[in-house]
Amino acid sequence: MTFKVPRGTQDILPEQSAKWQKVEETIRHLCHTYRYEEIRTPMFESTELFQRGVGDTTDIVQKEMYTFTDRGNRSLTLRPEGTAGAVRAYVEHKLYGLPDQPVKLSYIGPMFRYERQQAGRYRQFVQFGVEAIGSKDPAIDAEVISLAMNVYRTVGLTDLKLVINSLGDKEVREAHRTALINHFEPHIHEFCSDCQNRLEKNPLRILDCKVDRENPLMETAPSLTDFLNEESATYFEKVKHYLDLLGIEYEVDPNLVRGLDYYNHTAFEIMSTSKGFGSITTLCGGGRYHGLVQEVGGPDMAGIGFAMSIERLLLALEAEGKELETDSALEVFIVSMDDAAKEKAVELASTFRAKGIATEIDYASRKMKAQMKAADRQGAKWVLVLGEQELADNAAAVKNMETGTQEKVPFHDLVNYLQTH
Protein backbone atom coordinates (compact mmCIF):
# COMPACT_ATOMS: atom_id res chain seq x y z
CA MET A 1 0.00 0.00 0.00
CA THR A 2 1.42 3.40 -0.93
CA PHE A 3 0.07 6.85 -0.25
CA LYS A 4 0.25 10.17 -1.99
CA VAL A 5 -0.65 13.67 -0.88
CA PRO A 6 -4.32 14.45 -1.54
CA ARG A 7 -4.99 16.07 -4.92
CA GLY A 8 -4.37 19.80 -4.86
CA THR A 9 -2.10 19.70 -1.82
CA GLN A 10 1.68 19.58 -1.59
CA ASP A 11 4.50 18.68 0.74
CA ILE A 12 6.97 21.45 1.32
CA LEU A 13 10.32 19.77 1.73
CA PRO A 14 13.21 21.35 3.66
CA GLU A 15 14.84 22.91 0.60
CA GLN A 16 11.57 24.69 -0.21
CA SER A 17 10.61 25.51 3.35
CA ALA A 18 13.69 27.72 3.71
CA LYS A 19 12.14 29.91 0.98
CA TRP A 20 8.78 29.88 2.71
CA GLN A 21 10.39 30.98 5.95
CA LYS A 22 12.16 33.80 4.15
CA VAL A 23 8.88 35.03 2.66
CA GLU A 24 7.11 34.72 6.00
CA GLU A 25 9.90 36.63 7.69
CA THR A 26 9.62 39.43 5.12
CA ILE A 27 5.87 39.55 5.64
CA ARG A 28 6.13 39.62 9.44
CA HIS A 29 8.69 42.37 9.29
CA LEU A 30 6.61 44.52 6.93
CA CYS A 31 3.45 43.95 8.97
CA HIS A 32 5.36 45.12 11.99
CA THR A 33 6.53 48.32 10.33
CA TYR A 34 3.05 49.02 8.93
CA ARG A 35 1.48 48.05 12.27
CA TYR A 36 -0.80 45.24 11.09
CA GLU A 37 -0.87 42.97 14.10
CA GLU A 38 -1.40 39.28 13.68
CA ILE A 39 -4.72 37.63 14.38
CA ARG A 40 -4.99 33.84 14.50
CA THR A 41 -8.46 32.50 13.97
CA PRO A 42 -9.57 28.85 13.75
CA MET A 43 -9.02 26.78 10.63
CA PHE A 44 -12.73 26.02 10.56
CA GLU A 45 -15.79 28.13 11.29
CA SER A 46 -19.52 27.64 11.15
CA THR A 47 -20.62 27.20 7.55
CA GLU A 48 -23.11 30.02 7.89
CA LEU A 49 -20.34 32.53 8.55
CA PHE A 50 -18.95 31.95 5.05
CA GLN A 51 -22.40 31.82 3.45
CA ARG A 52 -23.07 35.26 4.87
CA GLY A 53 -19.57 36.67 4.90
CA VAL A 54 -18.30 35.51 1.53
CA GLY A 55 -21.73 35.54 -0.10
CA ASP A 56 -24.11 32.89 -1.36
CA THR A 57 -23.59 33.77 -5.01
CA THR A 58 -19.81 33.41 -5.08
CA ASP A 59 -17.93 30.48 -6.60
CA ILE A 60 -16.37 29.90 -3.21
CA VAL A 61 -19.66 29.27 -1.43
CA GLN A 62 -21.38 27.58 -4.35
CA LYS A 63 -18.70 25.14 -5.40
CA GLU A 64 -15.49 25.31 -3.46
CA MET A 65 -16.10 24.80 0.25
CA TYR A 66 -14.96 21.83 2.30
CA THR A 67 -18.04 21.50 4.45
CA PHE A 68 -18.63 18.74 6.99
CA THR A 69 -20.89 17.88 9.85
CA ASP A 70 -19.15 17.24 13.15
CA ARG A 71 -20.18 14.69 15.76
CA GLY A 72 -22.37 17.30 17.42
CA ASN A 73 -24.28 17.73 14.15
CA ARG A 74 -22.95 21.22 13.46
CA SER A 75 -22.18 22.27 9.91
CA LEU A 76 -18.58 23.45 9.80
CA THR A 77 -16.39 24.55 6.90
CA LEU A 78 -12.62 24.64 6.47
CA ARG A 79 -11.93 28.32 5.92
CA PRO A 80 -11.74 29.17 2.21
CA GLU A 81 -10.47 32.71 2.94
CA GLY A 82 -9.46 34.85 5.89
CA THR A 83 -11.68 37.92 5.89
CA ALA A 84 -14.82 36.29 7.31
CA GLY A 85 -12.96 34.84 10.31
CA ALA A 86 -11.09 38.08 11.01
CA VAL A 87 -14.31 40.10 10.87
CA ARG A 88 -16.11 37.55 13.05
CA ALA A 89 -13.35 37.89 15.66
CA TYR A 90 -13.42 41.70 15.37
CA VAL A 91 -17.13 41.61 16.22
CA GLU A 92 -17.02 38.80 18.79
CA HIS A 93 -14.26 40.50 20.79
CA LYS A 94 -15.74 43.97 20.29
CA LEU A 95 -12.56 45.31 18.76
CA TYR A 96 -14.74 48.11 17.34
CA GLY A 97 -14.76 49.47 20.90
CA LEU A 98 -10.99 50.00 20.98
CA PRO A 99 -9.98 53.67 21.11
CA ASP A 100 -7.72 53.43 18.08
CA GLN A 101 -9.57 52.80 14.85
CA PRO A 102 -9.07 51.40 12.32
CA VAL A 103 -8.05 48.11 13.87
CA LYS A 104 -5.30 46.77 11.63
CA LEU A 105 -5.05 43.00 11.47
CA SER A 106 -2.96 40.55 9.50
CA TYR A 107 -3.11 36.80 9.12
CA ILE A 108 -1.15 34.07 7.40
CA GLY A 109 -2.22 30.47 7.19
CA PRO A 110 -3.72 27.68 5.12
CA MET A 111 -7.03 28.12 3.26
CA PHE A 112 -9.04 25.36 1.64
CA ARG A 113 -10.98 25.39 -1.59
CA TYR A 114 -12.24 22.50 -3.64
CA GLU A 115 -10.92 23.67 -7.00
CA ARG A 116 -9.73 22.10 -10.19
CA GLN A 117 -6.02 21.62 -9.72
CA GLN A 118 -3.74 23.56 -12.04
CA ALA A 119 -0.54 25.58 -11.78
CA GLY A 120 -1.02 28.21 -9.10
CA ARG A 121 -4.31 26.73 -7.94
CA TYR A 122 -4.30 24.38 -5.00
CA ARG A 123 -6.91 22.92 -2.71
CA GLN A 124 -4.86 23.84 0.31
CA PHE A 125 -2.85 27.04 -0.06
CA VAL A 126 -1.42 29.64 2.28
CA GLN A 127 -2.81 33.12 2.21
CA PHE A 128 -1.32 36.20 3.74
CA GLY A 129 -3.85 38.96 4.15
CA VAL A 130 -4.62 42.11 6.07
CA GLU A 131 -7.80 43.88 7.16
CA ALA A 132 -8.05 47.50 8.32
CA ILE A 133 -11.48 47.80 9.87
CA GLY A 134 -13.13 50.97 11.14
CA SER A 135 -12.00 53.77 8.83
CA LYS A 136 -13.22 55.27 5.58
CA ASP A 137 -10.10 57.33 5.02
CA PRO A 138 -8.81 56.89 1.45
CA ALA A 139 -5.27 57.09 2.86
CA ILE A 140 -5.77 53.68 4.44
CA ASP A 141 -6.68 52.23 1.03
CA ALA A 142 -3.36 53.47 -0.30
CA GLU A 143 -1.54 52.11 2.75
CA VAL A 144 -3.03 48.65 2.28
CA ILE A 145 -2.10 48.64 -1.42
CA SER A 146 1.38 49.88 -0.61
CA LEU A 147 1.90 47.08 1.92
CA ALA A 148 0.95 44.44 -0.66
CA MET A 149 3.24 45.98 -3.29
CA ASN A 150 6.05 46.21 -0.77
CA VAL A 151 5.86 42.50 0.04
CA TYR A 152 6.44 41.68 -3.63
CA ARG A 153 9.15 44.27 -4.08
CA THR A 154 11.00 43.22 -0.94
CA VAL A 155 11.22 39.58 -2.03
CA GLY A 156 12.67 40.86 -5.30
CA LEU A 157 9.80 40.87 -7.82
CA THR A 158 9.85 43.61 -10.44
CA ASP A 159 7.43 42.50 -13.18
CA LEU A 160 4.29 43.69 -11.46
CA LYS A 161 1.17 45.51 -12.46
CA LEU A 162 -1.26 47.14 -10.08
CA VAL A 163 -4.79 47.52 -11.40
CA ILE A 164 -7.39 49.53 -9.54
CA ASN A 165 -11.03 50.44 -9.95
CA SER A 166 -13.85 51.98 -7.99
CA LEU A 167 -17.00 49.99 -7.42
CA GLY A 168 -18.76 53.06 -6.03
CA ASP A 169 -21.11 53.06 -3.08
CA LYS A 170 -24.51 51.47 -2.53
CA GLU A 171 -26.39 54.03 -4.59
CA VAL A 172 -23.96 53.65 -7.50
CA ARG A 173 -24.13 49.88 -7.37
CA GLU A 174 -27.96 49.94 -7.38
CA ALA A 175 -28.11 52.12 -10.49
CA HIS A 176 -25.43 50.09 -12.20
CA ARG A 177 -27.16 46.87 -11.25
CA THR A 178 -30.36 47.94 -12.97
CA ALA A 179 -28.42 48.92 -16.06
CA LEU A 180 -26.64 45.57 -16.08
CA ILE A 181 -29.87 43.63 -15.82
CA ASN A 182 -31.33 45.62 -18.70
CA HIS A 183 -28.19 44.97 -20.72
CA PHE A 184 -27.90 41.23 -20.20
CA GLU A 185 -31.52 40.12 -19.74
CA PRO A 186 -32.55 39.96 -23.44
CA HIS A 187 -29.58 37.67 -24.19
CA ILE A 188 -29.15 35.83 -20.92
CA HIS A 189 -29.93 32.48 -22.57
CA GLU A 190 -26.57 32.77 -24.39
CA PHE A 191 -24.77 32.70 -21.05
CA CYS A 192 -23.77 29.87 -18.73
CA SER A 193 -26.16 28.66 -16.07
CA ASP A 194 -24.12 30.38 -13.35
CA CYS A 195 -24.58 33.71 -15.11
CA GLN A 196 -28.29 33.07 -15.52
CA ASN A 197 -28.47 32.69 -11.75
CA ARG A 198 -26.33 35.77 -11.22
CA LEU A 199 -28.60 37.99 -13.33
CA GLU A 200 -31.03 38.62 -10.49
CA LYS A 201 -28.85 37.82 -7.49
CA ASN A 202 -25.67 39.69 -8.37
CA PRO A 203 -25.35 40.75 -12.02
CA LEU A 204 -22.00 42.44 -11.34
CA ARG A 205 -20.51 39.01 -11.04
CA ILE A 206 -21.41 38.21 -14.65
CA LEU A 207 -18.54 40.53 -15.60
CA ASP A 208 -16.25 38.30 -13.56
CA CYS A 209 -17.35 35.09 -15.32
CA LYS A 210 -14.55 32.98 -16.72
CA VAL A 211 -16.83 30.90 -19.00
CA ASP A 212 -18.49 33.75 -20.88
CA ARG A 213 -15.48 36.02 -21.02
CA GLU A 214 -15.57 36.20 -24.84
CA ASN A 215 -19.25 37.08 -25.23
CA PRO A 216 -19.44 40.47 -27.05
CA LEU A 217 -22.01 41.69 -24.52
CA MET A 218 -19.21 41.76 -21.94
CA GLU A 219 -17.38 44.47 -23.88
CA THR A 220 -20.45 46.66 -24.27
CA ALA A 221 -21.75 46.19 -20.71
CA PRO A 222 -22.42 49.43 -18.83
CA SER A 223 -19.29 50.46 -16.98
CA LEU A 224 -19.39 51.27 -13.28
CA THR A 225 -17.21 54.28 -13.95
CA ASP A 226 -20.07 56.00 -15.78
CA PHE A 227 -22.28 55.58 -12.75
CA LEU A 228 -19.97 56.95 -10.06
CA ASN A 229 -21.64 59.71 -8.06
CA GLU A 230 -19.69 62.69 -6.83
CA GLU A 231 -18.80 61.21 -3.47
CA SER A 232 -17.50 57.98 -5.00
CA ALA A 233 -15.59 59.80 -7.70
CA THR A 234 -13.97 62.07 -5.12
CA TYR A 235 -13.06 59.09 -2.98
CA PHE A 236 -11.44 57.37 -5.94
CA GLU A 237 -9.51 60.54 -6.85
CA LYS A 238 -8.15 60.72 -3.31
CA VAL A 239 -7.00 57.09 -3.34
CA LYS A 240 -5.21 57.71 -6.63
CA HIS A 241 -3.69 60.89 -5.26
CA TYR A 242 -2.26 59.02 -2.26
CA LEU A 243 -0.88 56.30 -4.54
CA ASP A 244 0.82 59.04 -6.60
CA LEU A 245 2.24 60.49 -3.41
CA LEU A 246 3.67 57.09 -2.53
CA GLY A 247 5.12 56.70 -6.01
CA ILE A 248 3.05 53.61 -6.71
CA GLU A 249 2.16 53.14 -10.36
CA TYR A 250 -1.27 51.82 -11.28
CA GLU A 251 -3.63 51.26 -14.15
CA VAL A 252 -7.33 51.97 -13.86
CA ASP A 253 -9.41 49.11 -15.22
CA PRO A 254 -13.15 49.85 -15.25
CA ASN A 255 -13.84 46.13 -15.74
CA LEU A 256 -12.12 45.04 -12.57
CA VAL A 257 -14.76 43.64 -10.27
CA ARG A 258 -14.15 41.34 -7.36
CA GLY A 259 -15.87 38.03 -6.74
CA LEU A 260 -16.98 38.83 -3.21
CA ASP A 261 -20.26 40.56 -2.63
CA TYR A 262 -19.46 43.27 -0.10
CA TYR A 263 -16.83 45.17 -1.98
CA ASN A 264 -17.39 48.89 -2.56
CA HIS A 265 -15.21 51.82 -3.59
CA THR A 266 -11.61 50.67 -4.05
CA ALA A 267 -10.95 47.31 -5.72
CA PHE A 268 -7.48 46.25 -6.77
CA GLU A 269 -5.42 43.40 -8.10
CA ILE A 270 -1.72 42.90 -8.44
CA MET A 271 -0.58 40.76 -11.35
CA SER A 272 2.68 39.34 -12.53
CA THR A 273 3.64 40.55 -16.00
CA SER A 274 6.52 38.09 -16.22
CA LYS A 275 6.54 36.12 -19.47
CA GLY A 276 7.35 32.94 -17.61
CA PHE A 277 4.13 33.09 -15.62
CA GLY A 278 1.29 30.76 -16.56
CA SER A 279 -2.26 31.66 -17.45
CA ILE A 280 -3.21 32.72 -13.93
CA THR A 281 -1.45 35.98 -13.42
CA THR A 282 -3.23 37.45 -10.41
CA LEU A 283 -1.03 37.41 -7.35
CA CYS A 284 -3.15 39.44 -4.98
CA GLY A 285 -6.70 40.72 -4.78
CA GLY A 286 -8.26 43.16 -2.41
CA GLY A 287 -10.56 46.02 -1.81
CA ARG A 288 -12.82 47.98 0.42
CA TYR A 289 -15.93 46.44 1.88
CA HIS A 290 -18.98 47.75 3.68
CA GLY A 291 -21.82 45.84 5.29
CA LEU A 292 -19.76 42.78 6.15
CA VAL A 293 -19.24 43.75 9.79
CA GLN A 294 -22.98 44.27 10.16
CA GLU A 295 -23.75 41.04 8.36
CA VAL A 296 -21.92 39.10 11.06
CA GLY A 297 -23.63 40.98 13.86
CA GLY A 298 -21.44 44.03 14.43
CA PRO A 299 -21.93 47.78 14.09
CA ASP A 300 -21.79 49.76 10.85
CA MET A 301 -18.06 49.67 10.22
CA ALA A 302 -16.25 49.66 6.89
CA GLY A 303 -13.04 47.84 6.14
CA ILE A 304 -10.42 47.25 3.52
CA GLY A 305 -8.07 44.36 2.98
CA PHE A 306 -6.30 42.07 0.57
CA ALA A 307 -5.23 38.46 0.30
CA MET A 308 -2.33 36.90 -1.55
CA SER A 309 -1.12 33.34 -1.65
CA ILE A 310 2.48 32.48 -0.92
CA GLU A 311 2.31 29.78 -3.61
CA ARG A 312 1.72 32.33 -6.34
CA LEU A 313 4.34 34.67 -4.96
CA LEU A 314 6.90 31.85 -5.19
CA LEU A 315 5.72 30.99 -8.71
CA ALA A 316 6.20 34.63 -9.72
CA LEU A 317 9.74 34.57 -8.35
CA GLU A 318 10.44 31.46 -10.37
CA ALA A 319 8.95 33.03 -13.48
CA GLU A 320 11.22 36.05 -13.06
CA GLY A 321 14.18 33.77 -12.40
CA LYS A 322 14.80 35.37 -9.01
CA GLU A 323 16.38 33.40 -6.18
CA LEU A 324 15.46 34.15 -2.62
CA GLU A 325 18.47 34.43 -0.39
CA THR A 326 17.88 32.00 2.41
CA ASP A 327 19.94 31.85 5.53
CA SER A 328 19.72 28.21 6.44
CA ALA A 329 23.51 27.85 6.18
CA LEU A 330 25.39 25.53 8.47
CA GLU A 331 28.16 27.24 10.38
CA VAL A 332 30.13 24.41 11.96
CA PHE A 333 30.49 20.71 11.28
CA ILE A 334 32.47 18.81 13.91
CA VAL A 335 34.38 15.83 12.57
CA SER A 336 35.25 13.25 15.24
CA MET A 337 37.76 10.46 14.68
CA ASP A 338 37.12 8.11 17.62
CA ASP A 339 34.76 7.55 20.55
CA ALA A 340 36.50 9.96 22.89
CA ALA A 341 36.45 12.65 20.21
CA LYS A 342 32.74 11.94 19.59
CA GLU A 343 32.01 12.71 23.25
CA LYS A 344 33.86 16.00 22.95
CA ALA A 345 31.96 16.73 19.71
CA VAL A 346 28.61 16.23 21.46
CA GLU A 347 29.70 18.55 24.25
CA LEU A 348 31.05 21.26 21.92
CA ALA A 349 27.97 21.12 19.67
CA SER A 350 25.83 21.82 22.71
CA THR A 351 28.03 24.76 23.74
CA PHE A 352 28.00 26.25 20.22
CA ARG A 353 24.25 25.87 19.80
CA ALA A 354 23.68 27.60 23.12
CA LYS A 355 25.58 30.54 21.63
CA GLY A 356 23.39 30.48 18.51
CA ILE A 357 25.98 28.87 16.23
CA ALA A 358 24.38 26.36 13.82
CA THR A 359 26.27 23.13 14.41
CA GLU A 360 26.15 19.58 13.08
CA ILE A 361 28.06 16.44 14.01
CA ASP A 362 28.32 12.92 12.61
CA TYR A 363 25.77 10.32 13.72
CA ALA A 364 26.75 7.55 11.31
CA SER A 365 30.24 6.59 12.56
CA ARG A 366 31.65 7.60 9.19
CA LYS A 367 35.33 7.74 8.35
CA MET A 368 36.97 11.14 8.53
CA LYS A 369 36.88 11.60 4.76
CA ALA A 370 33.15 10.82 4.58
CA GLN A 371 32.49 13.27 7.41
CA MET A 372 34.44 15.97 5.56
CA LYS A 373 32.35 15.31 2.46
CA ALA A 374 29.14 15.60 4.49
CA ALA A 375 30.33 18.93 5.90
CA ASP A 376 30.95 20.16 2.36
CA ARG A 377 27.58 18.94 1.08
CA GLN A 378 25.81 20.73 3.91
CA GLY A 379 27.63 23.96 3.11
CA ALA A 380 29.46 24.24 6.45
CA LYS A 381 31.47 27.42 6.84
CA TRP A 382 33.84 25.78 9.32
CA VAL A 383 34.95 22.22 9.96
CA LEU A 384 36.36 21.29 13.34
CA VAL A 385 38.48 18.15 13.47
CA LEU A 386 38.79 16.24 16.72
CA GLY A 387 41.15 13.29 17.11
CA GLU A 388 43.49 11.84 19.70
CA GLN A 389 46.07 14.59 19.26
CA GLU A 390 43.48 17.41 19.50
CA LEU A 391 42.05 16.00 22.72
CA ALA A 392 45.56 15.74 24.18
CA ASP A 393 46.24 19.38 23.21
CA ASN A 394 42.82 20.64 24.38
CA ALA A 395 42.52 22.34 21.00
CA ALA A 396 40.63 21.66 17.75
CA ALA A 397 41.86 21.91 14.19
CA VAL A 398 39.58 24.54 12.66
CA LYS A 399 39.32 24.63 8.88
CA ASN A 400 37.78 27.53 7.01
CA MET A 401 35.97 25.83 4.13
CA GLU A 402 35.96 28.92 1.93
CA THR A 403 39.66 29.71 2.08
CA GLY A 404 40.95 26.25 2.96
CA THR A 405 43.15 27.66 5.73
CA GLN A 406 43.50 25.75 8.97
CA GLU A 407 44.36 26.81 12.52
CA LYS A 408 44.62 25.13 15.86
CA VAL A 409 42.29 26.81 18.38
CA PRO A 410 42.12 25.99 22.14
CA PHE A 411 38.73 24.57 23.19
CA HIS A 412 38.04 27.43 25.62
CA ASP A 413 38.62 29.95 22.83
CA LEU A 414 36.47 28.26 20.14
CA VAL A 415 33.23 30.20 20.60
CA ASN A 416 35.04 33.50 20.51
CA TYR A 417 37.05 32.40 17.46
CA LEU A 418 33.99 31.29 15.50
CA GLN A 419 32.06 34.42 16.36
CA THR A 420 34.80 36.84 15.41
CA HIS A 421 36.23 35.21 12.27
Q: What is the DSSP string of 199-246?
A: HHH-GGGGGG-SSSTT-HHHHHSPPGGGG--HHHHHHHHHHHHHHHHT
N-to-C CA span, the chain: 52
Q: Which residues contact 383 (CB under 8 A, 6 or more apart)?
A: 332, 333, 334, 335, 372, 375, 398, 399, 401
Q: Determine whether the annotation assigns residue 113 to a binding site.
A: yes
Task: Give the nearest distance from C-beta 78 to ligand ATP in angstroms.
Answer: 13
Q: Determine whether the annotation assigns residue 242 to a binding site.
A: no
Measured distance CA(108)–CA(338) in Å, rounded: 47
Q: Does residue 102 have a cis bond before it (omega within 30 degrees)?
A: yes
DSSP annotation of 412 reads G
Q: What is the DSSP string of 234-272?
A: HHHHHHHHHHHHTT---EE-TT---SSTTEEEEEEEEEE
Is 285 strand, coil or helix?
Answer: strand
User: Which CB atom, from 120 or from 134, has the smaller least distance to ligand ATP?
Assistant: 120
The residue sitting closest to ligand ATP, measured at its beta carbon, is: 309
Task: Give the nearest distance from C-beta 203 to ligand ATP in angstroms.
Answer: 18
Task: Give the nearest distance from C-beta 124 to ligand ATP in angstroms.
Answer: 8
Task: Give the nearest distance from C-beta 79 to ligand ATP in angstroms.
Answer: 12
Is 94 strand, coil or helix?
Answer: coil
Q: Determine whether the annotation assigns residue 127 to a binding site.
A: yes
Q: Determine whether the annotation assigns residue 258 to a binding site.
A: yes
Using CB under 6 A, list all residues that contact ligand ATP: 81, 113, 115, 120-122, 125, 127, 259, 280, 282-285, 307-309, 311-312
User: Which CB atom, from 125 or from 227, has the smaller least distance to ligand ATP?
Assistant: 125
User: Which CB atom, from 50 or from 122, has the smaller least distance to ligand ATP?
Assistant: 122
Q: Determine whether the annotation assigns residue 263 to a binding site.
A: yes
User: Which CB atom, from 250 or from 333, has the smaller least distance to ligand ATP?
Assistant: 250
Is 325 strand, coil or helix?
Answer: coil
Task: Give the nearest distance from C-beta 85 to ligand ATP in angstroms.
Answer: 14
CA 96 to chain centre: 25
User: Which CB atom, from 151 or from 380, has the smaller least distance to ligand ATP?
Assistant: 151
Is 334 strand, coil or helix?
Answer: strand
Task: Give the nearest distance from C-beta 30 to ligand ATP in angstroms.
Answer: 17
Task: Give the nearest distance from C-beta 343 to ligand ATP in angstroms.
Answer: 49
Q: Determine whether the annotation assigns residue 25 to a binding site.
A: no
User: Which CB atom, from 44 or from 333, has the smaller least distance to ligand ATP?
Assistant: 44
User: What strands lie across the sheet with 124-133, from one edge to the other?
Assistant: 37-38, 103-112, 124-133, 302-309, 282-290, 263-272, 160-166, 251-252
Strand spans (E) along 300-361: 302-309, 332-336, 359-361
User: Which CB atom, from 127 or from 135, has the smaller least distance to ligand ATP?
Assistant: 127
Q: Determine whether the annotation assigns residue 82 to a binding site.
A: yes
Binding annotation: 81-83, 113, 127, 131, 258, 262-263
Binding annotation for L-histidine: 81-83, 113, 127, 131, 258, 262-263
